[in-house]
Amino acid sequence: MAIIARDRGGAYARAAAKALPNAVQVADRWHLMENASHAFLDAVRRSMRQIRCAIGAMSIKPELLTAAERLQYEGYLHREETNAAILALFRDGVGIKEIVRRTGHSRGTVRRVLRGERSDVFRTRETSLETYLPWLDQQWAAGRHNGAALWRALQAQGFRGSLRVVTEWATRRRRADKVDADTLQRVPSARTIARLMTIERNDLTKAETLTVAAIETGVPSLVEARQIIDGFHLMIRRKAGADLDPWIIRARASLVASFANGVARDIAAVRAAVVSRWSNGQTEGQITKLKLVKRQMYGRGKLDLLEARLIGAT
C-alpha cells in the first residue's frame, strides 16, 4: 500500500490524488497543530472588541501610552475609519470585488475587515525572544529579574539577540507586576493575549492573571475555543482517532469553525495523521534548514553557493 505524507495545502492533496489515486494520504501533524494554534489566535483577533469591553478598556488614554504605542494607536484610529467604510458598503449589499474597486484596498484587507481581524489596537510581531519566552517566564518566577544576567544565560543557549531586547523585556515584566487601574486599562495585543491564555497560570504576573480572568469572564466563547484547540492537540498526542468526528461537530459551533471546516474537508488525511505512525516531519525539518541557510545569506545566494552551504551544514 502506498503512503503519501504531505503538507496540508489543497494543491498537494490534488496532486497526490492525481498521481497515486489509491494511495493513503497523511497530513503533516506539525502543520495540523500549528494551524490549530493559529486558529485560536484568529479567534482572539476577532474578539478584541469584546476583550476591551471585558477588561474595561473601551477607551484608550493617550497620556498612558509610550511613544511607540501612541503611533500604533493613531494607526488604529485610521484603520477604524477604513473598517467603518468597508463595513458600510458590505451592509449595503456591495460585493467584495466592488468594495475593492471603490476603496482601493486589497482583496485580502477587505476580507480581513469583514472577518473582524483588524480591530486590534496594539499589534506586535514575533521577536527573537519568542522561542525563549517559556524559559524566561520560569526564570522570572524564580526571582531572577536582572536583564543582563538573563541575557548572558540566553547566550549560552544559543540566543543571538542583543542585550537591549532582553532588558526591555525585563522592564515590561517589572511594570506588569505592578497591578493598578492604569495597568489594566492597557489592553495587550491579540498575540500576547493568545499566549497568556494558553500558558500555565502560575507563570503569569498579577496583572496578567487579572487580565486573563477578566477575559475568561467577559468572553466565554473564547474560553470554549481554547478548550477545543487544547482538545485537538491532545487528540493528536494520544492518537485518539475516534474523537475526531465529535470534535468537528463541537468545533463547527465555535469561534474556530473555519479551522474545523478545513479539517472536515481533509478528514481522511487528518484521521490518518492522528492514528498512523507516518509523518512529514523529516521533510519539513530539511525545508526549514534550507530556508535558514538561505536567509543567512539575506536571500541572495545562488544555487551553487546554496548547495555548498547546505551540504556543509549537513
Query: Strand pairing partners for 197?
Result: none
Q: How many CB atoms lie within 10 A of CB 112?
A: 19
How far is residue 197's CA from residue 182's CA, in Å, rounded to a whole number? 21
Instruction: Note the pTM of the prediction, 2 decimals.
Output: 0.61
Range of the domain at 290: 281-313
- The reply to whether 270 and 285 lie within a common domain is no
Question: 24-27 and 3-6 as β-strands: parallel, antiparallel, unpaired?
Answer: parallel
Domain assignment present for residue 309? The answer is: yes
Q: Which residues contact 273 (CB under 8 A, 6 or more apart)?
A: 26, 27, 28, 29, 32, 236, 279
Residue 61 confidence (pLDDT): 58
Is the same domain home to 166 and 143? yes
Q: Provide CB contacts within 8 A for 298, sequence distance 6+.
A: none
Please check whether residues 136 and 198 belong to one and the same domain.
yes
DSSP string, 117-174: -S--SS-----TTGGGHHHHHHHHHTT---HHHHHHHHHHTT--S-HHHHHHHHHHHH
Cα dihedral across residues 148, 150, 154, 160: positive or negative: negative
Give domain status of residue 57, yes or no.
Answer: no
Same domain, 197 and 130: yes
* Distance (Å, whole) CA 10 – CA 27: 11
Tens-digit pLDDT string for the chain (314 aa): 688 888 878 888 888 888 888 888 899 898 899 999 999 999 998 888 888 888 765 455 555 555 666 676 777 777 878 888 888 888 888 888 888 888 888 888 888 888 776 666 555 555 677 778 888 888 888 888 898 899 999 888 888 888 888 888 888 777 666 654 444 456 778 888 899 898 887 777 766 777 888 888 889 999 999 999 999 999 999 999 999 999 999 999 999 999 999 999 999 999 999 999 888 877 877 888 888 777 777 666 677 887 787 776 55
Examine the domain organization and report whether 225 and 287 are in the same domain. Answer: no
Q: Is residue 49 part of a domain?
A: no
Contact predicate 84/240, CB 8 Å:
no
| Alpha-carbon gap, residue 227 to 247, rounded angstroms | 11
- Say if residue 67 is in the same domain as residue 96: yes
Residue 50 lies in a domain: no
Separation of alpha carbons 26 and 12, rounded Å: 11
Structural domains of the chain, count: 4
Q: Is residue 255 part of a domain?
A: yes
Same domain? For 232 and 267 the reply is: yes
Say if residue 117 is exposed, middle or buried (CB neighbours under 10 Å; 0-12, 13-18, 19+). Answer: middle
Residue 30 in grid coordinates: 506539525
* Residue 26: strand, helix, or coil: strand
269 and 303 within one domain: no
